[in-house]
Chain A
Amino acid sequence: MSAHANLERRRQAIYGWLLLSPAAVLLTLFAFYPSIATLWSSLFSRGTRRRPSEFVGGENYTDLFADPTFWLVVKNNLLYAGVTIPVSIFIALSMALWANSKISARGFVRTAYFTPTVLPMIAAANLWLFFYTPGLGVLDQIGSVFGLPSVNWLGQPETALWAIIIVTIWKEAGFFMIFYLAALQTIPEDLKEAADIEGASRWTYTRRIVLPLLMPTTLFIAVNAIINSVKLIDHLFILTKGGPSDASKLILYYIWEMAFAFFDAPSAAAMTIMVIAVLGVVAAVQFFYLDRRTHYQ
């Protein structure tokens, strides 16, 4: 009996490992190994022809902490994330609630909202260049009708980051709306009817029933939005290149600059490690704390 059970257990174990192995191989190759390699290289100095790289421990990190540009970039990115994430989620939810209700031309509204998502970020940035360009841009054209002075939205430190933020929100809200729309469609119609009979107003129904039931989606979207707030920098290349005077520089752009413009790979690696650490903490909070408070069907 027990010999059979043992054999069965071993077979199950082998089966399990076989099922795991493709994912394990791919993750190791493309995620774990690069992360560890990055961590390793961040501990070495930048090698030149005269001075080969040597182990320096945390020196690259202390250098970064002493670099005012690094702190400016961190501040920019925090502001960027702090505005784009809640605003795009809020807009996505509002649009989804609207596009899910019984309105005419519902199909058109949905398609219209989704269009920015289909565009590549580079194309979207080029599009927005037409809005922002001083003199020729649509914003200035409209402004001039009302006699407003020309504004160089992308060219001055006070407005450059905000211009970038708006492009990101415009781009992301439609994408997130699709998830909300899908989630809204899984909420049975009779919950609304039951709430109606109980005398719940539209607002009460939305707040007490719909929003809690959308929480898993919101969580998923929030994770995506946070990742995007670090990852999505394509439009910087077209619109501002991080300028003027680093006013719109985000952390990933700075990492790219370090690695491929200043050829300082160890500093770039150190920054990458810090980004990974921060994202890791955020993910842990989301999955261990928020997940427990979320209702999954």
Chain B
Amino acid sequence: MTPSSFVKLDGVAKRWNGQLGVEGISLDIPEGSFTALLGPSGCGKSTTLRLLAGLELPDEGTISIDGKDVTTSAASDRNLSMVFQSYALFPHLSVAENVVFGLKVRRVSKKERQVKLHRALEITGLLGYERRKPGELSGGQRQRVALARAIVAGQRLCLMDEPLSNLDAKLRNAVRKDIKKLQRDLGITVVYVTHDQTEAMSMADTVVLMKDGHIQQIGSPDDLYSRPNNTFVAEFVGAPPMALIDATAFASVFDNSATVGIRAENIQIVPSGQGRLRCVVTESEFLGAETLIGLDHAGASGLCVLKPGLAMVAEGSEIDIDFQDESLHVFDADGQRLTG
């Protein structure tokens, strides 16, 4: 087995009472990488993770971890750890007992347990909290306990199911960096489920974007942002997302294209009469370093433009915009990308 596929999913499908769960999931995850499963609610990303964890068994396909076929293995035989969205801490056990629970179950000696516990708490900055109960900790601290529990056993694969979704925005940013650093320092392989594209884009080496149980695109954050496979990816990734314009709305140079996409940063406001599209301003949103101006045009959706600094434009006023052909993304009638 080459190191290029530490975790391998091949044609995995899971259905519930005939309803679609996930279908045709094939993934290769190299060791030591950070993979994010991204997608809207109900897209099957959590299901994929649970299949990987062994909490669900697939109806089709095979799963292997570290060269071992684990398709039907019990969760405990897969040598992985998991961080749950709710943290799933045992409320009656102290922080220390929570962290070493798995070690105790696996009959690790008391001395070794102490050493590993100390190290895990040190890494997660929880020293001094050993005797607290989860109920006496803040959300961020509980989250770190869950992390400590996941890393204490030294498993090489760690699954995380939206671990940051219960934290407030500021804490989320801090913990995001912590998790990324932790993953690098320990050299573990992380599969991370999130619906927040910022998380996925900023942390992951590889992003797997899913929708309705199918994988839409697998690639680096840059791939997803700069070369979206289809209009769904284009509209999901990026803030603001890519604007889609009906190809007939302006003099197009592309053959058989149905839709073209363009990112806000590639649009320029030009003096009246010199642009390729004339739009109506619907809103101006001041973001600090720049102002996001929402535009409305009959043949386009999600059109907006960024202006540096505070630059509010009156609602309802008409402005002309221009863009270069090179910065356009071209999609066919089915929404698939046409050219590189």
Contact = CB atoms under 8 A, between A and B. Distances in A.
B is a partner of A: yes
Interface of A: 188, 190-191, 193-201, 204, 208-209, 212-213, 215, 295, 297
B67 interface: no
A201 B135 CA distance: 25
A204 B76 CA distance: 13
A297 B55 contact: no
Interface residues of B, number: 23
B254 interface: no
A198 B97 CA distance: 13
B169 interface: no
Given A193-B82, A212-B92, 5 more contacts: A193-B88, A194-B88, A196-B54, A197-B53, A200-B101
Nearest to A190: B88
Interface of B: 53-55, 74-76, 80-82, 84, 86, 88, 90-92, 101-102, 105-106, 133, 135, 149, 153
B29 to A, nearest CB: 18
A188 B86 CA distance: 9
Given A204-B105, A212-B92, A196 B135 contact: no
A291 to B, nearest CB: 14
B90 A197 contact: no
A212 B106 CA distance: 20
Question: Which has the most chain A C-beta neighbours within 10 Å: B90, B133, B149?
Answer: B90
B82 A199 contact: no
B108 to A, nearest CB: 11
A195 B86 CA distance: 14
A213 B105 contact: no
A193 B105 CA distance: 14
Contacts of A215: 92
B91 A297 contact: yes
B74 A191 contact: no
Given A188-B86, A193-B84, A295-B91, A199 B55 contact: no
B80 to A, nearest CB: 7
B92 A199 contact: no
